[in-house]
A and B are shown apart, each in its own frame.
Chain A
Protein backbone atom coordinates (compact mmCIF):
# COMPACT_ATOMS: atom_id res chain seq x y z
CA UNK A 1 0.00 0.00 0.00
CA UNK A 2 2.91 2.38 0.62
CA UNK A 3 3.99 2.17 -3.04
CA UNK A 4 0.41 2.81 -4.15
CA UNK A 5 0.11 5.76 -1.80
CA UNK A 6 3.41 7.18 -3.06
CA UNK A 7 2.29 6.81 -6.67
CA UNK A 8 -1.02 8.48 -5.92
CA UNK A 9 0.65 11.26 -3.97
CA UNK A 10 3.02 11.82 -6.88
CA UNK A 11 0.03 12.47 -9.09
CA UNK A 12 -1.84 14.76 -6.72
CA UNK A 13 -1.74 17.70 -9.13
CA UNK A 14 -3.16 15.68 -12.01
CA UNK A 15 -5.88 14.20 -9.80
CA UNK A 16 -6.96 17.69 -8.77
CA UNK A 17 -6.86 18.99 -12.35
CA UNK A 18 -8.95 16.01 -13.46
CA UNK A 19 -11.68 16.79 -10.97
CA UNK A 20 -11.62 20.49 -11.84
CA UNK A 21 -11.98 19.64 -15.54
CA UNK A 22 -15.59 18.72 -14.72
CA UNK A 23 -16.52 21.76 -12.68
CA UNK A 24 -15.28 24.32 -10.18
CA UNK A 25 -14.99 22.82 -6.74
CA UNK A 26 -13.70 23.37 -3.21
CA UNK A 27 -11.23 21.49 -1.03
CA UNK A 28 -13.60 19.32 0.94
CA UNK A 29 -15.65 18.39 -2.12
CA UNK A 30 -12.52 17.46 -4.08
CA UNK A 31 -11.38 15.21 -1.27
CA UNK A 32 -14.81 13.57 -1.11
CA UNK A 33 -14.67 12.93 -4.85
CA UNK A 34 -11.27 11.28 -4.47
CA UNK A 35 -12.61 9.06 -1.68
CA UNK A 36 -15.70 8.20 -3.71
CA UNK A 37 -13.71 7.32 -6.82
CA UNK A 38 -11.35 5.12 -4.81
CA UNK A 39 -14.22 3.59 -2.83
CA UNK A 40 -12.77 5.01 0.37
CA UNK A 41 -9.31 3.52 -0.22
CA UNK A 42 -7.60 6.87 -0.59
CA UNK A 43 -8.06 10.48 0.46
CA UNK A 44 -5.79 13.48 0.75
CA UNK A 45 -4.56 14.98 3.95
CA UNK A 46 -5.64 18.60 4.03
CA UNK A 47 -2.03 19.77 3.99
CA UNK A 48 -1.26 17.68 0.89
CA UNK A 49 -4.32 19.02 -0.89
CA UNK A 50 -3.68 22.66 -0.07
CA UNK A 51 0.03 22.46 -0.83
CA UNK A 52 -0.99 21.18 -4.28
CA UNK A 53 -3.56 23.99 -4.62
CA UNK A 54 -0.92 26.59 -3.90
CA UNK A 55 1.55 24.97 -6.32
CA UNK A 56 -1.04 24.74 -9.09
CA UNK A 57 -2.12 28.31 -8.48
CA UNK A 58 1.46 29.61 -8.62
CA UNK A 59 1.97 27.78 -11.92
CA UNK A 60 -1.19 29.34 -13.35
CA UNK A 61 -2.99 26.01 -13.73
CA UNK A 62 -5.84 26.84 -11.38
CA UNK A 63 -7.23 29.96 -9.80
CA UNK A 64 -9.49 30.49 -6.82
CA UNK A 65 -12.30 32.75 -5.75
CA UNK A 66 -14.55 33.13 -2.76
CA UNK A 67 -18.12 32.01 -3.32
CA UNK A 68 -21.06 32.21 -0.99
CA UNK A 69 -22.04 29.17 1.02
CA UNK A 70 -25.28 30.10 2.68
CA UNK A 71 -26.12 33.36 4.41
CA UNK A 72 -23.00 35.04 5.77
CA UNK A 73 -20.79 32.08 5.01
CA UNK A 74 -18.20 31.83 2.28
CA UNK A 75 -16.18 29.12 0.66
CA UNK A 76 -13.13 29.22 -1.61
CA UNK A 77 -13.68 27.60 -4.99
CA UNK A 78 -11.00 26.47 -7.38
CA UNK A 79 -11.28 26.48 -11.16
CA UNK A 80 -8.98 25.20 -13.86
CA UNK A 81 -7.43 27.65 -16.34
CA UNK A 82 -6.68 27.11 -20.03
CA UNK A 83 -3.04 26.50 -19.09
CA UNK A 84 -4.29 23.95 -16.56
CA UNK A 85 -6.29 22.13 -19.21
CA UNK A 86 -3.22 21.91 -21.42
CA UNK A 87 -1.16 20.70 -18.46
CA UNK A 88 -3.78 18.03 -17.69
CA UNK A 89 -3.64 16.78 -21.29
CA UNK A 90 0.15 16.60 -21.11
CA UNK A 91 0.06 14.77 -17.78
CA UNK A 92 -2.45 12.22 -19.03
CA UNK A 93 -0.29 11.58 -22.11
CA UNK A 94 2.76 11.19 -19.89
CA UNK A 95 0.86 8.75 -17.71
CA UNK A 96 -0.18 6.65 -20.71
CA UNK A 97 3.47 6.38 -21.73
CA UNK A 98 4.58 5.56 -18.20
CA UNK A 99 1.88 2.93 -17.84
CA UNK A 100 2.86 1.30 -21.14
CA UNK A 101 6.51 1.21 -20.07
CA UNK A 102 5.69 -0.28 -16.68
CA UNK A 103 3.36 -2.86 -18.26
CA UNK A 104 6.25 -3.92 -20.48
CA UNK A 105 8.73 -3.96 -17.60
CA UNK A 106 6.41 -5.84 -15.25
CA UNK A 107 5.50 -8.50 -17.79
CA UNK A 108 7.03 -11.91 -16.97
CA UNK A 109 5.88 -13.26 -20.36
CA UNK A 110 8.30 -11.02 -22.25
CA UNK A 111 10.39 -12.97 -24.72
CA UNK A 112 14.00 -11.80 -24.14
CA UNK A 113 15.23 -13.62 -27.28
CA UNK A 114 12.82 -11.88 -29.64
Chain B
Protein backbone atom coordinates (compact mmCIF):
# COMPACT_ATOMS: atom_id res chain seq x y z
CA UNK B 1 0.00 0.00 0.00
CA UNK B 2 2.96 2.28 0.67
CA UNK B 3 3.93 1.99 -2.98
CA UNK B 4 0.44 2.97 -4.13
CA UNK B 5 0.41 5.89 -1.71
CA UNK B 6 3.76 7.04 -3.07
CA UNK B 7 2.41 6.88 -6.61
CA UNK B 8 -0.65 8.93 -5.68
CA UNK B 9 1.53 11.44 -3.82
CA UNK B 10 3.80 11.80 -6.86
CA UNK B 11 0.80 12.28 -9.19
CA UNK B 12 -0.80 14.85 -6.93
CA UNK B 13 2.48 16.68 -6.31
CA UNK B 14 2.93 16.91 -10.06
CA UNK B 15 -0.49 18.55 -10.46
CA UNK B 16 0.35 20.99 -7.67
CA UNK B 17 3.74 21.84 -9.17
CA UNK B 18 2.57 25.37 -9.96
CA UNK B 19 1.81 26.00 -6.28
CA UNK B 20 4.57 27.45 -4.13
CA UNK B 21 6.03 24.97 -1.67
CA UNK B 22 4.61 25.39 1.83
CA UNK B 23 3.48 23.36 4.82
CA UNK B 24 -0.14 23.97 3.76
CA UNK B 25 0.62 22.44 0.35
CA UNK B 26 2.27 19.42 1.97
CA UNK B 27 -0.72 18.94 4.28
CA UNK B 28 -3.14 19.13 1.37
CA UNK B 29 -1.18 16.62 -0.69
CA UNK B 30 -1.12 14.27 2.29
CA UNK B 31 -4.89 14.51 2.73
CA UNK B 32 -5.61 14.00 -0.95
CA UNK B 33 -3.21 11.04 -1.15
CA UNK B 34 -5.00 9.40 1.79
CA UNK B 35 -8.37 9.90 0.14
CA UNK B 36 -7.22 8.52 -3.20
CA UNK B 37 -5.77 5.48 -1.41
CA UNK B 38 -9.15 4.86 0.18
CA UNK B 39 -10.85 5.26 -3.20
CA UNK B 40 -8.32 2.80 -4.67
CA UNK B 41 -9.05 0.20 -1.97
CA UNK B 42 -12.75 0.65 -2.53
CA UNK B 43 -12.29 0.13 -6.27
CA UNK B 44 -10.29 -3.04 -5.67
CA UNK B 45 -12.99 -4.32 -3.33
CA UNK B 46 -15.58 -3.78 -6.05
CA UNK B 47 -13.63 -6.12 -8.36
CA UNK B 48 -11.57 -3.70 -10.45
CA UNK B 49 -8.11 -4.67 -11.62
CA UNK B 50 -5.26 -2.80 -9.94
CA UNK B 51 -4.42 -0.50 -12.84
CA UNK B 52 -8.08 0.33 -13.46
CA UNK B 53 -8.61 0.91 -9.74
CA UNK B 54 -5.66 3.30 -9.66
CA UNK B 55 -6.81 5.22 -12.73
CA UNK B 56 -10.38 5.52 -11.44
CA UNK B 57 -9.18 6.76 -8.07
CA UNK B 58 -6.89 9.31 -9.68
CA UNK B 59 -9.75 10.48 -11.88
CA UNK B 60 -11.61 11.31 -8.67
CA UNK B 61 -9.09 14.04 -7.94
CA UNK B 62 -10.59 16.47 -10.46
CA UNK B 63 -9.29 19.85 -11.57
CA UNK B 64 -7.00 21.33 -8.91
CA UNK B 65 -6.58 24.77 -10.52
CA UNK B 66 -8.61 26.53 -7.83
CA UNK B 67 -6.67 24.80 -5.07
CA UNK B 68 -3.39 25.83 -6.68
CA UNK B 69 -4.66 29.42 -6.79
CA UNK B 70 -5.73 29.13 -3.17
CA UNK B 71 -2.27 27.93 -2.09
CA UNK B 72 -0.54 30.67 -4.05
CA UNK B 73 -2.80 33.26 -2.41
CA UNK B 74 -1.88 32.31 1.14
CA UNK B 75 0.20 34.66 3.24
CA UNK B 76 3.44 33.27 4.72
CA UNK B 77 1.67 33.06 8.09
CA UNK B 78 -1.23 31.07 6.62
CA UNK B 79 1.10 28.78 4.70
CA UNK B 80 2.79 27.33 7.73
CA UNK B 81 1.63 24.09 9.32
CA UNK B 82 -0.46 23.97 12.49
CA UNK B 83 1.66 24.15 15.62
CA UNK B 84 0.62 22.31 18.78
CA UNK B 85 -1.19 25.35 20.18
CA UNK B 86 -2.90 26.59 17.03
CA UNK B 87 -6.04 24.52 17.54
CA UNK B 88 -6.24 25.59 21.17
CA UNK B 89 -5.81 29.21 20.12
CA UNK B 90 -8.64 28.90 17.60
CA UNK B 91 -10.87 27.25 20.25
CA UNK B 92 -10.14 30.05 22.69
CA UNK B 93 -10.81 32.70 20.05
CA UNK B 94 -14.19 31.17 19.29
CA UNK B 95 -15.08 30.84 22.96
CA UNK B 96 -14.01 34.42 23.70
CA UNK B 97 -16.05 35.72 20.79
CA UNK B 98 -19.06 33.75 22.01
CA UNK B 99 -18.69 35.05 25.57
CA UNK B 100 -18.47 38.60 24.24
CA UNK B 101 -21.48 38.22 21.93
CA UNK B 102 -23.69 36.58 24.51
CA UNK B 103 -22.71 38.93 27.34
CA UNK B 104 -23.51 41.91 25.16
CA UNK B 105 -26.78 40.35 24.08
CA UNK B 106 -27.80 39.51 27.67
CA UNK B 107 -27.02 43.01 28.94
CA UNK B 108 -28.82 44.61 26.01
CA UNK B 109 -31.83 42.38 26.62
CA UNK B 110 -31.92 43.18 30.34
CA UNK B 111 -31.67 46.90 29.65
CA UNK B 112 -34.36 46.65 26.95
CA UNK B 113 -36.74 44.82 29.26
CA UNK B 114 -36.10 47.36 31.97
CA UNK B 115 -36.84 50.19 29.55
CA UNK B 116 -39.96 48.53 28.19
CA UNK B 117 -41.26 47.58 31.60
CA UNK B 118 -41.90 51.00 33.06
CA UNK B 119 -43.39 54.36 32.15
CA UNK B 120 -40.28 56.40 31.67
CA UNK B 121 -40.09 60.11 30.95
CA UNK B 122 -36.90 59.54 29.01
CA UNK B 123 -38.45 56.81 26.84
CA UNK B 124 -41.98 58.16 26.62
CA UNK B 125 -43.01 55.78 23.88
CA UNK B 126 -42.65 52.96 26.36
CA UNK B 127 -45.34 54.17 28.70
CA UNK B 128 -47.86 52.07 26.83
CA UNK B 129 -45.60 49.07 26.66
CA UNK B 130 -47.21 45.73 27.39
CA UNK B 131 -46.15 44.25 30.67
CA UNK B 132 -46.62 47.39 32.71
CA UNK B 133 -50.30 47.96 32.36
CA UNK B 134 -52.04 50.71 34.27
CA UNK B 135 -54.09 48.03 35.97
CA UNK B 136 -51.07 47.05 38.03
CA UNK B 137 -51.08 48.01 41.64
CA UNK B 138 -47.79 49.52 42.75
CA UNK B 139 -46.63 49.67 46.32
CA UNK B 140 -43.61 50.51 48.40
CA UNK B 141 -41.01 47.84 49.03
CA UNK B 142 -40.03 49.58 52.23
CA UNK B 143 -42.93 48.04 54.12
CA UNK B 144 -44.05 44.37 54.14
CA UNK B 145 -46.65 43.55 51.49
CA UNK B 146 -49.33 40.92 51.67
CA UNK B 147 -48.54 37.77 49.70
CA UNK B 148 -52.16 36.72 49.60
CA UNK B 149 -53.19 35.75 46.09
CA UNK B 150 -49.64 35.95 44.75
CA UNK B 151 -48.76 33.09 42.39
CA UNK B 152 -45.52 34.15 40.86
CA UNK B 153 -42.55 36.45 40.92
CA UNK B 154 -40.90 38.30 38.05
CA UNK B 155 -37.67 40.12 38.86
CA UNK B 156 -35.62 41.99 36.28
CA UNK B 157 -32.55 43.85 37.42
CA UNK B 158 -29.46 45.18 35.74
CA UNK B 159 -26.98 45.65 38.55
CA UNK B 160 -27.13 44.03 41.96
CA UNK B 161 -27.53 40.66 43.61
CA UNK B 162 -30.85 38.91 44.23
CA UNK B 163 -31.52 36.62 47.16
CA UNK B 164 -34.83 34.83 47.58
CA UNK B 165 -35.64 32.93 50.73
CA UNK B 166 -38.78 30.80 50.96
CA UNK B 167 -39.27 30.55 54.70
CA UNK B 168 -41.49 28.12 56.61
CA UNK B 169 -41.81 30.62 59.40
CA UNK B 170 -42.71 33.62 57.27
CA UNK B 171 -46.21 34.95 57.46
CA UNK B 172 -48.12 35.39 54.24
CA UNK B 173 -46.09 38.45 53.42
CA UNK B 174 -43.34 39.59 51.11
CA UNK B 175 -40.51 41.14 53.08
CA UNK B 176 -37.98 43.26 51.23
CA UNK B 177 -34.58 44.13 52.52
CA UNK B 178 -31.36 45.42 51.05
CA UNK B 179 -31.27 48.40 48.71
CA UNK B 180 -35.03 48.57 48.29
CA UNK B 181 -35.39 52.32 47.98
CA UNK B 182 -34.69 52.20 44.23
CA UNK B 183 -37.03 49.28 43.50
CA UNK B 184 -40.33 49.65 41.74
CA UNK B 185 -42.76 46.95 42.82
CA UNK B 186 -46.17 46.14 41.42
CA UNK B 187 -48.57 43.25 41.11
CA UNK B 188 -51.13 42.46 38.48
CA UNK B 189 -54.59 41.00 38.72
CA UNK B 190 -53.31 37.52 37.91
CA UNK B 191 -51.20 37.33 41.04
CA UNK B 192 -47.80 38.09 39.55
CA UNK B 193 -45.42 40.30 41.51
CA UNK B 194 -43.08 42.43 39.38
CA UNK B 195 -39.88 43.95 40.66
CA UNK B 196 -37.83 46.37 38.60
CA UNK B 197 -34.81 48.51 39.29
CA UNK B 198 -34.82 52.29 39.18
CA UNK B 199 -37.79 54.06 40.67
CA UNK B 200 -37.19 57.34 38.88
CA UNK B 201 -36.12 58.20 35.36
CA UNK B 202 -32.73 59.43 36.51
CA UNK B 203 -32.04 56.40 38.71
CA UNK B 204 -33.16 53.91 36.02
CA UNK B 205 -30.78 55.66 33.65
CA UNK B 206 -27.95 55.20 36.15
CA UNK B 207 -28.77 51.49 36.50
CA UNK B 208 -28.86 50.99 32.75
CA UNK B 209 -25.48 52.62 32.35
CA UNK B 210 -23.99 50.50 35.10
CA UNK B 211 -23.40 53.55 37.30
CA UNK B 212 -25.70 52.38 40.06
CA UNK B 213 -26.26 49.05 41.75
CA UNK B 214 -28.60 47.66 44.37
CA UNK B 215 -28.79 44.30 46.10
CA UNK B 216 -32.24 42.89 46.79
CA UNK B 217 -33.30 40.34 49.38
CA UNK B 218 -36.81 38.92 49.56
CA UNK B 219 -38.33 36.67 52.17
CA UNK B 220 -41.39 34.83 50.91
CA UNK B 221 -43.79 32.36 52.49
CA UNK B 222 -42.95 28.73 51.80
CA UNK B 223 -45.92 27.53 49.80
CA UNK B 224 -46.74 26.62 46.21
CA UNK B 225 -45.58 29.22 43.70
CA UNK B 226 -46.48 28.79 40.05
CA UNK B 227 -43.43 30.55 38.68
CA UNK B 228 -40.28 32.33 39.71
CA UNK B 229 -38.44 34.35 37.05
CA UNK B 230 -35.24 36.24 37.73
CA UNK B 231 -33.23 38.07 35.08
CA UNK B 232 -30.12 40.04 35.92
CA UNK B 233 -27.24 41.28 33.88
CA UNK B 234 -24.48 41.61 36.42
CA UNK B 235 -25.76 40.38 39.77
CA UNK B 236 -25.55 37.02 41.51
CA UNK B 237 -28.80 35.15 42.19
CA UNK B 238 -29.47 32.83 45.10
CA UNK B 239 -32.67 30.90 45.91
CA UNK B 240 -33.24 28.85 49.04
CA UNK B 241 -36.20 27.07 50.54
CA UNK B 242 -37.87 23.79 51.28
CA UNK B 243 -41.01 24.28 49.24
CA UNK B 244 -42.15 22.87 45.92
CA UNK B 245 -42.24 25.38 43.08
CA UNK B 246 -43.62 25.36 39.57
CA UNK B 247 -41.40 26.82 36.90
CA UNK B 248 -38.11 28.36 38.02
CA UNK B 249 -36.13 30.37 35.50
CA UNK B 250 -32.96 32.30 36.26
CA UNK B 251 -30.85 34.12 33.68
CA UNK B 252 -27.70 36.12 34.25
CA UNK B 253 -24.96 37.48 32.06
CA UNK B 254 -22.00 37.55 34.44
CA UNK B 255 -23.60 36.71 37.77
CA UNK B 256 -23.37 33.38 39.56
CA UNK B 257 -26.52 31.34 40.19
CA UNK B 258 -26.92 29.19 43.28
CA UNK B 259 -29.83 27.54 44.97
CA UNK B 260 -31.17 24.83 47.18
CA UNK B 261 -34.83 24.04 46.67
CA UNK B 262 -36.91 20.99 47.53
CA UNK B 263 -38.20 20.62 43.99
CA UNK B 264 -39.71 22.36 41.02
CA UNK B 265 -41.49 21.22 37.92
CA UNK B 266 -39.26 22.97 35.40
CA UNK B 267 -35.82 24.41 36.08
CA UNK B 268 -34.07 26.69 33.59
CA UNK B 269 -30.73 28.22 34.51
CA UNK B 270 -28.88 30.22 31.89
CA UNK B 271 -25.73 32.25 32.25
CA UNK B 272 -22.93 33.51 30.08
CA UNK B 273 -19.94 33.62 32.37
CA UNK B 274 -21.40 32.99 35.80
CA UNK B 275 -21.06 29.70 37.67
CA UNK B 276 -24.11 27.62 38.59
CA UNK B 277 -24.35 25.61 41.78
CA UNK B 278 -27.76 24.07 42.34
CA UNK B 279 -29.23 21.41 44.55
CA UNK B 280 -32.76 20.08 44.38
CA UNK B 281 -35.19 18.00 42.38
CA UNK B 282 -36.83 18.92 39.11
CA UNK B 283 -39.04 17.14 36.60
CA UNK B 284 -36.97 18.75 33.87
CA UNK B 285 -33.79 20.79 34.15
CA UNK B 286 -32.05 22.80 31.45
CA UNK B 287 -28.72 24.39 32.33
CA UNK B 288 -26.66 26.39 29.89
CA UNK B 289 -23.54 28.51 30.08
CA UNK B 290 -20.73 29.70 27.87
CA UNK B 291 -17.75 29.88 30.21
CA UNK B 292 -19.37 29.31 33.58
CA UNK B 293 -19.20 25.97 35.40
CA UNK B 294 -22.43 24.03 35.97
CA UNK B 295 -22.74 22.01 39.16
CA UNK B 296 -26.05 20.25 39.79
CA UNK B 297 -27.10 17.80 42.45
CA UNK B 298 -30.50 16.18 42.83
CA UNK B 299 -33.18 13.95 41.40
CA UNK B 300 -33.94 15.09 37.88
CA UNK B 301 -36.40 13.71 35.36
CA UNK B 302 -34.93 15.03 32.15
CA UNK B 303 -31.58 16.79 32.31
CA UNK B 304 -29.98 18.92 29.62
CA UNK B 305 -26.71 20.72 30.32
CA UNK B 306 -24.40 22.45 27.87
CA UNK B 307 -21.38 24.73 28.03
CA UNK B 308 -18.64 26.01 25.79
CA UNK B 309 -15.65 26.13 28.11
CA UNK B 310 -17.28 25.63 31.50
CA UNK B 311 -17.13 22.31 33.33
CA UNK B 312 -20.28 20.28 33.99
CA UNK B 313 -20.75 18.23 37.15
CA UNK B 314 -23.88 16.29 38.03
CA UNK B 315 -24.49 14.09 41.03
CA UNK B 316 -27.77 12.32 41.62
CA UNK B 317 -30.30 10.50 39.52
CA UNK B 318 -31.76 11.40 36.15
CA UNK B 319 -34.20 9.49 34.00
CA UNK B 320 -32.39 10.84 30.97
CA UNK B 321 -29.43 13.18 30.60
CA UNK B 322 -27.86 14.97 27.66
CA UNK B 323 -24.67 16.86 28.50
CA UNK B 324 -22.28 18.55 26.10
CA UNK B 325 -19.33 20.93 26.11
CA UNK B 326 -16.63 22.16 23.80
CA UNK B 327 -13.60 22.34 26.06
CA UNK B 328 -15.16 21.92 29.49
CA UNK B 329 -14.76 18.70 31.45
CA UNK B 330 -17.85 16.63 32.24
CA UNK B 331 -18.31 14.59 35.38
CA UNK B 332 -21.47 12.59 36.04
CA UNK B 333 -22.10 10.56 39.17
CA UNK B 334 -25.34 8.68 38.62
CA UNK B 335 -27.02 7.03 41.58
CA UNK B 336 -29.31 5.13 39.20
CA UNK B 337 -28.69 4.21 35.61
CA UNK B 338 -30.44 6.69 33.29
CA UNK B 339 -32.67 5.22 30.60
CA UNK B 340 -30.82 7.44 28.13
CA UNK B 341 -27.45 9.09 28.62
CA UNK B 342 -25.59 11.13 26.03
CA UNK B 343 -22.34 12.87 26.91
CA UNK B 344 -20.19 14.68 24.35
CA UNK B 345 -17.30 17.12 24.21
CA UNK B 346 -14.58 18.24 21.87
CA UNK B 347 -11.51 18.58 24.09
CA UNK B 348 -13.09 18.20 27.52
CA UNK B 349 -12.53 15.01 29.49
CA UNK B 350 -15.60 12.90 30.34
CA UNK B 351 -15.80 10.96 33.59
CA UNK B 352 -18.92 8.90 34.28
CA UNK B 353 -19.51 6.92 37.43
CA UNK B 354 -22.44 4.56 36.99
CA UNK B 355 -24.01 2.06 39.38
CA UNK B 356 -24.16 -0.71 36.80
CA UNK B 357 -23.27 -1.53 33.21
CA UNK B 358 -25.53 0.10 30.59
CA UNK B 359 -27.34 -2.44 28.39
CA UNK B 360 -25.86 -0.76 25.31
CA UNK B 361 -22.77 1.41 25.42
CA UNK B 362 -21.01 3.41 22.71
CA UNK B 363 -17.70 5.18 23.29
CA UNK B 364 -16.10 7.26 20.56
CA UNK B 365 -13.02 9.46 20.52
CA UNK B 366 -10.55 10.60 17.90
CA UNK B 367 -7.41 11.08 19.97
CA UNK B 368 -8.50 10.83 23.61
CA UNK B 369 -7.82 7.84 25.83
CA UNK B 370 -10.59 5.42 26.86
CA UNK B 371 -10.84 3.59 30.16
CA UNK B 372 -14.03 1.72 30.94
CA UNK B 373 -15.16 -0.60 33.67
CA UNK B 374 -18.08 -1.67 31.50
CA UNK B 375 -18.20 -3.62 28.23
CA UNK B 376 -18.79 -1.63 25.06
CA UNK B 377 -21.69 -3.18 23.25
CA UNK B 378 -23.96 -1.99 20.43
CA UNK B 379 -27.69 -1.55 20.82
CA UNK B 380 -29.38 -4.93 20.26
CA UNK B 381 -31.59 -3.60 17.47
CA UNK B 382 -28.75 -1.70 15.82
CA UNK B 383 -30.30 1.63 16.80
CA UNK B 384 -28.85 4.36 18.98
CA UNK B 385 -27.25 3.32 22.26
CA UNK B 386 -28.86 4.13 25.58
CA UNK B 387 -25.47 5.33 26.76
CA UNK B 388 -23.15 7.22 24.46
CA UNK B 389 -19.95 9.15 25.18
CA UNK B 390 -18.24 11.02 22.37
CA UNK B 391 -15.16 13.25 22.34
CA UNK B 392 -12.62 14.46 19.84
CA UNK B 393 -9.49 14.83 21.95
CA UNK B 394 -10.96 14.53 25.44
CA UNK B 395 -10.30 11.43 27.54
CA UNK B 396 -13.18 9.10 28.38
CA UNK B 397 -13.39 7.29 31.68
CA UNK B 398 -16.24 5.10 32.92
CA UNK B 399 -16.13 3.83 36.47
CA UNK B 400 -18.44 1.79 38.64
CA UNK B 401 -19.82 3.63 41.66
B-binding residues in A (CB < 8 A): 23-24, 27-28, 31, 43, 45-48, 50-51, 54, 63, 65-68, 75-77, 79, 81-82
Contacts and interface: CB of A to CB of B under 8 A. Distances in A.
Contacts of A66: 82
Given A24-B392, A45-B60, A66-B82, A50 B367 contact: no
A27 to B, nearest CB: 5
Given A76-B27, A81-B94, A67 B70 contact: no
Contact of A46 (B27, B32, B87): B32
Interface of B: 27-28, 31-32, 34-36, 38-39, 60-64, 66-67, 70, 82, 87, 90, 94, 98, 346, 366-367, 390, 392-393
A54 B24 CA distance: 11
Contact of A47 (B34, B67, B90): B67
27 contacts: A23-B390, A24-B366, A27-B31, A28-B35, A28-B38, A31-B35, A43-B60, A45-B60, A45-B61, A45-B63, A46-B35, A46-B36, A47-B61, A47-B63, A47-B66, A50-B31, A50-B32, A54-B70, A63-B94, A67-B366, A67-B367, A67-B392, A68-B366, A75-B34, A76-B31, A79-B346, A82-B98
A80 B393 CA distance: 16
Residue with the highest number of chain B CB atoms closer than 10 Å, among A31, A51, A65: A65
Given A50-B28, A50-B31, A77-B392, 17 more contacts: A24-B366, A24-B392, A27-B35, A28-B35, A31-B35, A45-B61, A46-B60, A46-B62, A47-B64, A47-B67, A63-B94, A67-B367, A68-B366, A76-B27, A79-B392, A81-B94, A82-B98
B67 A51 contact: yes
B203 to A, nearest CB: 37
A31 B32 CA distance: 12
A51 B71 CA distance: 10
Contacts, number: 59
Give the top 3 A-B pairs by smallest Cβ distance, nearest first. A45-B62, A67-B366, A47-B62
Contacts of B31: 27, 50, 76
Contacts of A79: 346, 392
Contacts of A45: 60-63
A96 to B, nearest CB: 27
